[in-house]
Structure 1
Amino acid sequence: MKYRVVQDSFGEEKIPASAYWGIQTQRSLRNFSIGEERQPVEIIHALAAIKKAAAIVNKRHKSISDPICIAICEAAEAIMSGKMDQHFPLSVWQTGSGTQTNMNVNEVLSNYGAYLYREKHQKEIVIHPNDHCNFGQSSNDTYPTAMHVATIIAVRNNLVPALLTLIETFDQKAQEFQGIVKIGRTHHMDATPIKLSDEFETFREMIQENTRRVKVATDDLLFIPQGGTAVGNGVNTAPGWDAQIVAKISEIIGEDFRVPKNKSQHMASHDALVNFAATLKVFSVSLIKIANDLRFLASGPRCGLGELNLPQNEQGSSIMPGKVNPTQIEALTQVCAQVIGNETTIAFAGSQGTLQLNVYKPVIIHNILQSTRLLSDSINSFCSNCLVGIQPNRENINNHVRRSLMLVTALAPKIGYDNAALIAKRAFENNTSLRDEAITSGLIQPEEFDELIDPSRMTSPK
Structure 2
Amino acid sequence: MTQTTGSTYRIEKDSMGERQIPETAYYGIQTLRAMENFPISGLKPLPTYVDACVLIKKATAIANGELGCIPAEISQAIVQAADEVLAGKFRDQFVVDVYQAGAGTSHHMNVNEVLSNRALELLGDEKGNYKRVSPNDHVNYGQSTNDVIPTAIRIGALVALEKTLFPALSDAIAALDNKAEEFQDIVKSGRTHLQDAVPVRLGESFRAWAQILSDHLIRIERASEDLMILGLGGSAAGTGLNTHPQYCDRVAQLLSRLIDQPLRPAPHLMAAMQSMAPFVNVSGAMRNLAQDCVKISHDLRLMDSGPKTGLKEIQLPPVQPGSSIMPGKYNPVMAEMTTMVCFQVMGYDNAIALAASAGQLELNVMMPLIAYNLIHSIEILGNTLAALTTRCLEGITANRDRCLAYAEGSLALVTALNPHIGYLNAAAVAKESLETGKSLRQIVLERGLMSSEELAQVLDLEEMSAMPEAKIN
- TM-score when scaled to structure 1? 0.97
Instruction: Specify the alignment match of 1:270 in structure 2.
Output: 276
One-letter amino acid matched to 1:360: M
Pairing of 1:329-408 with structure 2 (within 5 A) = 329-408=335-414
Instruction: Specify the alignment match of 1:435 in structure 2.
Output: 441
**Partner of 2:123: helix, strand, or coil?**
helix
1:40 to 32, 39, 46: 46
Instruction: Specify the alignment match of 1:215 in structure 2.
Output: 221
**Partner of 2:230: helix, strand, or coil?**
coil
Query: Contact 2:198/2:413 (CA < 8 Å) preserved in 1?
Result: yes
Instruction: Specify the alignment match of 1:194 in structure 2.
Output: 200
Q: CA RMSD in A?
A: 1.5
One-letter amino acid matched to 2:161: V
Instruction: Specify the alignment match of 1:457 in structure 2.
Output: 463
Instruction: Specify the alignment match of 2:101 in structure 1.
Output: 95
1:322 maps to 2:328: yes
1:24 to 13, 16, 30: 30
1:50 maps to 2:56: yes
1:423 maps to 2:425: no
Which whole-Å CA distance do the structure 1 matches of 2:190 and 2:8 have between them?
A: 70
Instruction: Specify the alignment match of 1:184 in structure 2.
Output: 190
1:291 maps to 2:297: yes
Instruction: Specify the alignment match of 2:82 in structure 1.
Output: 76
1:243 maps to 2:242: no
1:64 to 49, 70, 90: 70
Which whole-Å CA distance do the structure 2 matches of 1:447 and 1:253 have between them?
A: 67
2:452 to 443, 446, 454: 446
Per-residue deviation, 1:56: 1.3
Which whole-Å CA distance do the structure 1 matches of 2:98 and 2:381 have between them?
A: 21
One-letter amino acid matched to 1:358: N
Which whole-Å CA distance do the structure 1 matches of 2:25 and 2:244 have between them?
A: 34
1:233 maps to 2:233: no
One-letter amino acid matched to 1:179: D
Instruction: Specify the alignment match of 1:313 in structure 2.
Output: 319
Higher alpha-carbon deviation: 232-241 or 347-356:
232-241
Per-residue deviation, 1:426: 0.4
Percent of paired sites with the same residue:
40
One-letter amino acid matched to 2:295: K
Query: Contact 2:49/2:375 (CA < 8 Å) preserved in 1?
Result: no
**Partner of 2:136: helix, strand, or coil?**
coil
Per-residue deviation, 1:351: 0.3
Query: Contact 2:146/2:273 (CA < 8 Å) preserved in 1?
Result: yes
Query: Contact 2:151/2:232 (CA < 8 Å) preserved in 1?
Result: yes
Pairing of 1:149-164 with structure 2 (within 5 A) = 149-164=155-170
Query: Contact 2:66/2:72 (CA < 8 Å) preserved in 1?
Result: no
One-letter amino acid matched to 2:297: A
One-letter amino acid matched to 1:297: M
**Partner of 1:367: helix, strand, or coil?**
helix
Per-residue deviation, 1:36: 1.0
Instruction: Specify the alignment match of 2:171 in structure 1.
Output: 165
**Partner of 1:227: helix, strand, or coil?**
coil
Per-residue deviation, 1:125: 8.9
Which whole-Å CA distance do the structure 1 matches of 2:411 and 2:132 have between them?
A: 84
Instruction: Specify the alignment match of 1:10 in structure 2.
Output: 16
- TM-score when scaled to structure 2? 0.95
Off by >3 Å, runs of 4+ in structure 1: none
1:131 maps to 2:137: yes
Which whole-Å CA distance do the structure 2 matches of 1:59 and 1:451 have between them?
A: 80
Which whole-Å CA distance do the structure 1 matches of 2:421 and 2:37 have between them?
A: 80
1:254 maps to 2:260: yes
Per-residue deviation, 1:221: 0.2
Per-residue deviation, 1:436: 1.1
One-letter amino acid matched to 1:142: V
**Partner of 2:101: helix, strand, or coil?**
coil
Number of residue pairs the alignment of both structures matches: 459
Query: Contact 2:14/2:30 (CA < 8 Å) preserved in 1?
Result: no
Query: Contact 1:114/1:125 (CA < 8 Å) preserved in 2?
Result: no
Higher alpha-carbon deviation: 150-159 or 436-445:
436-445
One-letter amino acid matched to 1:239: P
One-letter amino acid matched to 2:319: N
Q: Structure 2 unaligned segments of length 5 or more: list them.
A: 1-6
Query: Contact 1:19/1:87 (CA < 8 Å) preserved in 2?
Result: yes
Query: Contact 2:290/2:345 (CA < 8 Å) preserved in 1?
Result: yes
Query: Contact 2:358/2:365 (CA < 8 Å) preserved in 1?
Result: yes
